[in-house]
Amino acid sequence: MNLYHCMIELKSDAKALAFASAVETWLAALAERGMIGNWRLLRRKLGLASGAHCDFLLEIEVADLAQLDATFRALGHIDDLAQRHYEQLHHMIARADAGLFRPFPDPERRERIALV
């Protein structure tokens, strides 16, 4: 399992609940198609975070890099309805920083450690 992680800051005129609904619509459709695994949207609580942290954290699970690559490729050829859902979501975002994380130590590393 790999975790695609996005720190998101909304535009000043965007509504948090509308954003959450748009995320639900978009990612539920991707999950339904088997393009992603589980996902969750989190919001900073009580404004507690360092300056580098945005208001929202979106985490999306993918099985491996092949699934992530296939998802990105498929998103280049989405239908009009899916495109509208994506644009509704993306229109509310002022800034997004993304990263890809994996469990650590990973199974390969655990096996090497066991051999030593």
**In the chain, where are the structural domains located?**
2-115
Query: What is the tens place of the pLDDT at every residue in 11-42?
Result: 999 999 999 999 999 999 999 999 999 999 99
Q: What is the DSSP letter of 47?
A: T
* The architecture CATH gives domain 2-115: 2-Layer Sandwich (3.30)
Question: Is residue 4 predicted with pLDDT exceeding 70?
Answer: yes
Q: What is the DSSP letter of 103?
A: -
CB 35 within 8 A of CB 74: yes
Question: Is residue 115 predicted with pLDDT exceeding 60?
Answer: no
Decide: residue 87, CB within 10 A, 0-12 exposed, 13-18 middle, 19+ buried. Answer: exposed
Mean pLDDT of the chain: 88
